């Protein structure tokens, strides 16, 4: 298993480096340590954003379908260079009885700038064995890698919730051969991380749109992956939608939602889902939690002309805790 883990880490890092998407900077160590967590209250629920770290990504090789010069112009307008440190965030939902994670970070699979979820959980006083459920937006390694360590389950008491089409796609080994080349690198790691939970009888698949837990339902948002799901949390008239990977490059894709990323299994489907998602978020005005926007990735969306503008949550030291 150790061999498998090492092989997979080397394999996926090599692939990302080879494709130029991941900057070699990702292999340096000694990055400054940030606190890495952020609390807010939503009705009866406490939401804690937990940073798994950040991955330096090359926006030129990551992005598809951009107009000529568009990426450089937007990066400049946002005071960013070509290599953008891209947050990877998991979210903890607490309601007094249950401790629920939305996604699980990268674990040991994507190098030393990531895999910080466990230390962030410890920093907020939550043990891995306290987690009752992990809701998985999809089965890419930056969302499932933290489920295992050395091939063993990290969250022994947690049930994993995965949409049925997502589980069927990634966990059927024979699909790898027929999948497109953007999807192929992710199959082995999806299986490596989910199988220990399957063997323990701890995986529940759900139909798209299902009610999962009190106050929490799933919404299909297919494109990035075949069973990609949002999770919707509602309490006391407040609503937060956990987006998963509908956006990776905030500086570019809020201005031009037609721009896609290399990790999208279905490029056109992902772009269509993004446009629809943005319109819905503006219209309804709910809270958004987005794992690849700058940490904590919590905020609202509005229209400015034809483009969208991200309004990050106001930083608050005091909130209506229970
Ligand atoms: Zn992701």
Q: How many CB atoms lie within 10 A of CB 62?
A: 24
Cα–Cα distance for residue pair 306/291, rounded to 1 Å: 24
Q: What is the pLDDT of residues 184-214, one digit of tens each?
A: 999 999 999 999 999 999 999 999 899 999 9
Instruction: Give the model's pLDDT for residue 283.
Output: 97
Cα–Cα distance for residue pair 61/182, rounded to 1 Å: 13
The CA 61 to ligand 1 mean position distance, Å, reads: 16
The CA 59 to ligand 1 mean position distance, Å, reads: 15
Cα–Cα distance for residue pair 217/209, rounded to 1 Å: 7
| Residues contacting residue 209 through CB under 8 Å, at least 6 positions apart | 217, 218, 219, 220
The CA 292 to ligand 1 mean position distance, Å, reads: 7
Kindly tell me if the per-residue pLDDT of 13 is higher than 90.
Answer: no
82-104 average pLDDT score: 96
The CA 244 to ligand 1 mean position distance, Å, reads: 7
5-13 average pLDDT score: 51
15-19 average pLDDT score: 63
The CA 146 to ligand 1 mean position distance, Å, reads: 13
Percent of the chain with pLDDT over 90: 84
Kindly tell me if the per-residue pLDDT of 3 is higher than 80.
Answer: no
The CA 230 to ligand 1 mean position distance, Å, reads: 13
Q: How many CB atoms lie within 10 A of CB 221?
A: 26
The CA 321 to ligand 1 mean position distance, Å, reads: 30
The CA 171 to ligand 1 mean position distance, Å, reads: 18
CA 5 to chain centre: 21
Instruction: Give the model's pLDDT for residue 6.
Output: 40
The CA 157 to ligand 1 mean position distance, Å, reads: 24
The rounded mean pLDDT for the chain is 91
Instruction: Give the model's pLDDT for residue 83.
Output: 96
Structure tokens at 167: 């589980």
The CA 168 to ligand 1 mean position distance, Å, reads: 19
Q: What is the pLDDT of residues 43-60, one digit of tens each?
A: 999 999 999 999 999 999
Instruction: Give the model's pLDDT for residue 2.
Output: 38
Kindly tell me if the per-residue pLDDT of 11 is higher than 70.
Answer: no
The CA 245 to ligand 1 mean position distance, Å, reads: 5
Query: Is 305 within 8 Å of 316 (Cβ atoms)?
Result: no
Cα–Cα distance for residue pair 243/305, rounded to 1 Å: 23
Whole-angstrom CA distances from 30 to 33, 113, 157, 198 are: 8, 9, 33, 36
Kindly tell me if the per-residue pLDDT of 291 is higher than 60.
Answer: yes
Kindly list the structural domains of the chain, giving each domain's residue range(s) and its CATH number in brackets, ordered by start. Answer: 3-312 (3.60.15.10)
Q: What is the pLDDT of residues 257-289, one digit of tens each?
A: 999 999 999 999 999 999 999 999 999 999 999
Instruction: Give the model's pLDDT for residue 96.
Output: 85
Instruction: Give the model's pLDDT for residue 317.
Output: 80
Q: What is the pLDDT of residues 219-236, one digit of tens each?
A: 999 999 999 999 999 999
The CA 322 to ligand 1 mean position distance, Å, reads: 32
The CA 318 to ligand 1 mean position distance, Å, reads: 30
Report the candidate in 61, 249, 291 with the shortest Cα–Cα distance to residue 257: 249
The CA 139 to ligand 1 mean position distance, Å, reads: 9
Kindly tell me if the per-residue pLDDT of 26 is higher than 90.
Answer: no
| Residues contacting residue 228 through CB under 8 Å, at least 6 positions apart | 137, 138, 163, 166, 220, 221, 222, 244, 245, 273
| Rg over CA atoms, the chain | 18
Kindly tell me if the per-residue pLDDT of 118 is higher than 60.
Answer: yes
Give the three-class secondary structure for 54: strand
247-252 average pLDDT score: 97
Least confident of 119-133, 149-163, 173-187, 307-321: 307-321
Instruction: Give the model's pLDDT for residue 15.
Output: 61
22-51 average pLDDT score: 80
The CA 122 to ligand 1 mean position distance, Å, reads: 23
């Amino acid at each position: 298993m150790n061999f498998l883990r090492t092989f997979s880490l080397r394999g996926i890092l090599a692939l990302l480096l080879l494709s130029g998407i991941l900057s070699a900077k990702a292999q340096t160590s000694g990055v400054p340590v940030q606190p890495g967590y952020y609390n807010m209250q939503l009705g009866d629920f406490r939401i804690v954003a937990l940073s798994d770290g950040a991955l330096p990504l090359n926006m030129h090789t990551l992005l598809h379908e951009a107009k000529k010069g568009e990426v450089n112009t937007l990066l400049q307008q946002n005071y960013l260079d070509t290599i953008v440190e891209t947050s990877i965030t998991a979210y903890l939902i607490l309601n007094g009885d249950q401790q629920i994670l939305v996604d699980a970070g990268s674990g040991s699979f994507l190098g030393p700038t990531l895999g910080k979820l466990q230390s962030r959980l410890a920093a907020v006083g939550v043990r891995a064995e306290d987690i009752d459920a992990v809701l998985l937006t999809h089965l890419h390694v930056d969302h499932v890698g933290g489920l295992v360590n050395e091939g063993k389950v990290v969250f022994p008491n947690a049930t994993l919730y995965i949409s049925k089409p997502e589980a069927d796609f990634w966990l059927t080994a024979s699909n790898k051969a027929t999948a497109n080349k953007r999807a192929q690198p992710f199959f082995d790691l999806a299986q490596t991380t989910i199988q220990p939970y399957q063997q323990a009888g701890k995986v529940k698949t759900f139909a798209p749109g299902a009610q999962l837990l009190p106050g929490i339902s799933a919404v299909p948002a297919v494109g990035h992956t075949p069973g990609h799901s949002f999770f919707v949390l509602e309490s006391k008239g407040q609503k937060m939608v956990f987006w998963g990977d509908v956006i990776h490059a905030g500086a570019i894709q809020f201005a031009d939602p037609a721009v896609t990323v290399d990790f999208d299994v279905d490029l056109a489907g992902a772009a269509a889902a993004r446009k629809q998602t943005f319109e819905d978020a503006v219209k309804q005005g709910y809270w958004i939690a987005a794992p690849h926007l700058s940490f904590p990735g919590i905020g609202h969306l509005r229209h400015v002309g034809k483009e969208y503008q991200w309004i990050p949550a106001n930083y608050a030291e005091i909130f209506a805790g229970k």
